[in-house]
Every structure is written in C-alpha cells, then in structure tokens.
C-alpha cells in the first residue's frame, strides 16, 4: 500500500473534524470500553478476506473469542495453536483495535519470515480499510511494513532477528510462529527483547509447536508450571505467562472424516505436531520423532567434576567407555559415554570443549579407575576405546605416552577386513560407511527400548541429530558430540558381541557381514 492512500478513500486523514450521530458515538464508546471494547470491535467492525467467501465480517469461533479475552486479560500470553486455526486473523483484529483505541503505544510484530510479517500486516490493513470511517483512527503514515495513527500509536512489522526491536520502547510485542525461528536467533532475540517488556510492556507469543528444546517450548513449559514455591496452584505459570491452547476439532469445519483425510495426506507425525500441538521434531531425525517425544532422562545421582553419573556401579556388570576426542580449543566438544552391559543402560557421560587432549585422556582414565574401584575388580570387566580420526591420532600419542598398561581395562580396536592393506592403528576410524552402520544400530536400540537413556543433554542432541545428505549430523547451531561418542560405544559393543553373544541379546543385529574380518585380539567378557 503506497502513501498515496493517505489522500484517498482507503485511509482516514489524521486530525480532521467530524460530526457523529448518536449511534456512531455509542459505537465509539463501546469500542473504547477497557474491558470489552475489543470484543465489540471484532463482532461489529472487523472484516476479513475469506479464501472462499471473500469479504466478510469476522465471525469468531468460540475458541477465538476465548483467545481474544486471553490476549486482553493477561499481560504475557503464549498460545500453542493448530495450523490454520485462525490465530493470525484473531491477532490482527486485536492488534488493530489495541492501536486505534490506546494512545501512544508501540506494537511490534516479529515474524519468523518476511512473508509472515507481511501477511499479518496485510490482514491488519484490510481490516482497517474496511472499518467504518467513524470507528477507525486517522493515519499519519501507512505502508507495507508499518502504520502510524493520529493518536500516537503505531504498528511495526519485522522479521525476527537477534536485533529486532532493540532500542524500541515496546508496548505490545506479538511473536508469530516463534517456534520456527532459528534457535540461536530466537534465544538472542528473547534475551534482548525481554528487558524492554519489564517496564510495563505486554507480549503475545503464538505458534504451532516445533522442537521441544527451543525458546518457545521453554516458555510454554514454564507457563504450564502453575505451582508456587509452597505448592499452591496459581493462575499464571511461574514465568508470569498465561498459556492458551485449542484442539484441532474446536474448529467447526473439522471432524473425524477431515482428520482421516489429513492423516492420509501428511502422515501421523506431522498431524500430531501441526494439529495435535504435540512437541514432535519435524526434521528427519535419526530416531523416530514420536519415540523422541517420550524420552525424558533423569538427574545425575552425582557429579564428579564435569562427569555426570546416573547409576551406581555393579560388580556383576561389564562397562564400555567411549571417548570422541576434540582439540579442546573452544570449538567442538570432546565427549565420553559409559554404557553398562548387558543392561545397555547409560551410566555416565562427560563433555567439554576447552579440555586439552592430555587432560581428556586423564579424565578417561579417572572414569575407568572409578568403575574399577567401585566394582572392586581387576579391570577385566571394563572395555574402552577412542576415535582415531585426525585429532584422535593425537589422543593415541598421549595414550602411548601414558602407557596403555597404566589405564585399566582393555583397549578395544576395530576389526580389519581380510585383504585390507593399511597400517594398523588402535581405536576406531570413522568413515561414512561405519557412521551409517553405527547410526542404524543406535536407532534400532533406542526405538526398540533396548538402550536405557538417562542423560537429558544426550536426548537434546538426539532431537537435533537430523538427516543431512546421505548421513546425519546436528542441525545448524546445535551439537552432536554426545551422539558421536554414543555411536562409538555402539561400535565397541558390536566388536564385543562377537566373542560373547549373550551380552548382545539386547543389541540389534547389524546388517554387516563379519565373516571376513580379522580382529586384533580376542576379548573376554565377564560371565555374569
């Protein structure tokens, strides 16, 4: 919309004298009502462009009416709503009313995409242009990205970035599809914008759910925790937000037949996320997203330095320790996973990105020594290894300097195929083939419930471990170091099972032929 409309019939000129009838004055009085004005405005004056019926007066469904009251009655709102449920139309109606009947307000619309911001503004402009002249406020600025009214209020739209809204004095913030903003940007944005709301601003956050690890999910979960420090239930969540949601079947045009048709079109996972408002990962994760949504993890029973222990050691069990080394200069994390066999329970883990390689080996040794002491064993029930790719070569040199004999347990190495000509190197070398094979094993173990996962950070990484080309890796801005060390643990167990199949009873069979392999040394696993 160009500024030429300021002189035309589409907009109302600012600061013009008008004569109103008694009926028109009553309309203004009703719209200005601080308690119910928004409802009166929506019911009588807000027009929408229906995709089938065209121009029509907004006829709010019951849950849309409740949503409007939620907007109005609570300072901070978070709304988790099904796809195509009319949330944008409802928001456009409220934002327009708020701007026209509240002077000197700045309303910021932050959308995850430019097109989303423009879509909301288009609905606001459409509603404004079709308002009767006696109801709508005069405008002093009117364009695609913003509207400024004669009462000093303005509506500004923008794409959500880390700097969006910075320096603005925001009266009302509206975040559209906030769950789909890049996680890093969303965190930076919310950290930056929150202080501007602390002095009296209001916020409306609306989205269909996405990941259960993003900022939207965090705010939503906190809004649902409605118990104070004494255990008494309160109206708002502990973060001060009022949470609102609606079911897909609250839309009058949706019934069981519609559901079945939509299930056939988009599948169960997508339906449950987009219409059932479940926190299911949308990306093609290694592990089925429905399974991922059921994983919760536990709190460590003890922290030893940066090593989290989830279970006491058992002298009757066997332990596998896998180290995925890193440079330790602040980039990728080095990570260690500890598995108990034959239960396949995650016992401990460690991760850090500024620990030098020599110290990584010391931590590995300390973990092994702790297991040895706790189980009062000679170390015969402990098997450990490292990835030997690039940085792993440095780890091997450090192990050699330490003396392998000074680290309890057995250093496990990958088998070498017959006829494969290369210099033998201890540990495990990761290639595209071996990574995919280990991914398949991990996927099967998790989805069949055979791997007991205790670590919440590991679960977080699994939810961001997605398909990339012909392999898997962490989504942009996320990490997968704990997953990588668990993949290495899977490969260690794959070697161990060939010497004691009964330990492998819970381990899914690999599609890999092991008959043509030569192994460095025979292994022995405790008989328990």
HEC profile of 234-255: CCCCCCCCEEEECCHHHCCCCC
Helix, strand, or coil (residue 516): coil
Under 8 Å CB-to-CB from 504, ≥6 apart: which residues?
A: 342, 493, 496, 497
CB contact at 8 A, 85 and 251? yes
| Cα distance between residue 419 and residue 442, in whole Å | 29
pLDDT beneath 70, residues of the chain: 1-9, 227-232, 280-283, 417-424, 499-528
Q: Where are the alpha helices (DSSP H) in 11-86?
A: 22-32, 37-44, 62-73
Tell me what pLDDT residue 231 has.
Answer: 58
Distance of CA 237 to the CA centre of its chain: 20
Distance of CA 28 to the CA centre of its chain: 44
Tell me what pLDDT residue 41 has.
Answer: 97
| Cα distance between residue 361 and residue 359, in whole Å | 5
CB contact at 8 A, 170 and 28? no
Give the CA angle between residues 286, 445, 278 to the nearest 5°. 50
Query: Which neighbouring-strand residues pair with 323?
Result: 336, 386
Tell me what pLDDT residue 388 has.
Answer: 92
Question: Residue 66 has which token pair?
Answer: 């409740």
CB contact at 8 A, 322 and 385? yes
* CA neighbor of 473 nearest in space, from 433, 435, 501: 435
Residue 464 CA: distances (Å) to CA of 70, 274, 287, 472, 475: 33, 19, 10, 10, 6
| Cα distance between residue 160 and residue 165, in whole Å | 9
| Cα distance between residue 211 and residue 466, in whole Å | 12
CB contact at 8 A, 452 and 344? yes
Residue position matching structure tokens 């519609």: 258
CB contact at 8 A, 81 and 245? yes
Tell me what pLDDT residue 468 has.
Answer: 86
| Cα distance between residue 366 and residue 369, in whole Å | 5
Residue 21 CA: distances (Å) to CA of 11, 93, 171, 189: 21, 25, 33, 47
Q: List domains and CATH numbers for the chain.
A: 3-14+21-250 (3.40.50.300), 302-518 (3.30.420.240)
Q: What is the dihedral of CA 188, 189, 195, 199, to 10 degrees?
A: -170
Which uninterrupted H or E stretch holds 350? strand 345-352
Q: Is 493 exposed, middle or buried (0-12, 13-18, 19+ CB in 10 A)?
A: buried
Tell me what pLDDT residue 521 has.
Answer: 38
CB contact at 8 A, 178 and 205? yes
| Cα distance between residue 524 and residue 528, in whole Å | 12
Instruction: Please list, residue by residue across 135-158, b when 16 or more beta carbons sit within 10 angstroms of its beta carbon and e when fewer do.
Output: bbbbbbebeeeebbbbbebbbbbb
Rg of the chain in Å (alpha carbons): 30
Under 8 Å CB-to-CB from 84, ≥6 apart: which residues?
A: none
Helix, strand, or coil (residue 52): coil
- Give 455-468 as a DSSP string: BHHHHHHHHTEEEE
Distance of CA 163 to the CA centre of its chain: 21
* CA neighbor of 445 nearest in space, from 397, 495, 494, 398: 494
pTM for the full model?
0.60
CB contact at 8 A, 120 and 92? yes
């Amino acid at each position: 919309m160009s500024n030429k409309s300021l002189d035309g019939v589409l907009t109302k000129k600012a600061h013009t004298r008008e004569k109103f009838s008694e009926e028109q004055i009553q309309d203004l009085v009703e719209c200005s009502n601080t308690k119910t004005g928004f409802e009166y405005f929506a019911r009588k004056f807000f027009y929408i462009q229906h995709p089938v019926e065209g121009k029509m007066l907004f006829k709010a469904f019951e849950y849309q009416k409740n949503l409007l009251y939620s907007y109005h009655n609570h300072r901070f709102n978070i709304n988790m709503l099904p796809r195509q449920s009319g949330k944008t139309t409802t928001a456009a109606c409220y934002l327009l009313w708020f701007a026209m009947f509240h002077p000197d307000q700045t309303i910021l619309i932050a959308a995850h995409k430019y097109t989303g911001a423009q879509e909301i503004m288009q609905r606001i402009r459409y509603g404004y242009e079709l308002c009767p002249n006696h109801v709508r406020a005069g405008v002093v600025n009117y364009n695609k990205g913003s509207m400024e009214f004669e009462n000093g209020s303005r509506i500004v739209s923008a794409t959500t970035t880390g700097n969006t809204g910075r320096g603005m004095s925001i009266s009302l913030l509206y975040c559209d599809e906030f769950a789909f903003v890049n996680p890093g940007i969303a965190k930076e944005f919310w950290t930056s914008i929150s202080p501007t709301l602390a002095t009296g601003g209001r916020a409306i956050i609306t989205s269909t759910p996405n990941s259960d690890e993003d900022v939207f999910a965090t705010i939503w979960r906190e809004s649902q925790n409605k118990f104070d420090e004494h255990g008494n239930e309160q109206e708002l969540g502990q973060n001060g937000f009022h949470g609102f949601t609606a079911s897909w079947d609250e839309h009058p045009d949706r019934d069981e037949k519609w559901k079945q048709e939509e299930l056939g079109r988009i599948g169960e996972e997508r339906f449950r996320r987009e219409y059932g408002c479940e926190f299911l990962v949308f990306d093609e994760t290694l592990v089925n997203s429905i399974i991922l949504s059921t994983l919760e993890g536990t709190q460590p029973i003890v922290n030893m330095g940066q090593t989290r222990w989830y279970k006491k050691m058992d002298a009757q069990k066997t332990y596998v320790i896998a180290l995925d080394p890193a440079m330790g200069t602040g980039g990728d994390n080095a990570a260690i996973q500890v598995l108990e066999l034959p239960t396949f329970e995650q016992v401990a883990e460690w991760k850090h990105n500024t620990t030098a390689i020599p110290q990584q080996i010391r931590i590995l040794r300390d973990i092994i020594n702790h297991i040895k002491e706790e189980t009062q064993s000679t170390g015969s029930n402990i098997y450990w290894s490292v990835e030997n790719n690039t940085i792993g070569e440095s780890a091997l040199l450090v192990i050699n300097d330490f003396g392998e004999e000074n680290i309890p347990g057995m250093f496990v190495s990958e088998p070498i195929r017959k006829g494969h000509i290369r210099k033998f190197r201890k540990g495990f070398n990761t290639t595209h083939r071996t990574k995919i094979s280990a991914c398949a094993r991990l996927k099967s173990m998790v989805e069949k419930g055979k791997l007991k996962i205790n670590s919440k950070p590991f679960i977080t990484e699994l939810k961001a471990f997605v398909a990339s080309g012909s392999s898997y890796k962490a989504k942009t801005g996320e990490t997968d170091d704990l997953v990588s060390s668990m993949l290495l643990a899977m490969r260690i167990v794959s070697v161990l099972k060939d010497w004691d199949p009964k330990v492998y009873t819970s381990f899914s069979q690999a599609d890999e032929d092991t008959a043509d392999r030569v192994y460095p040394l025979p292994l022995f696993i405790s008989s328990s």
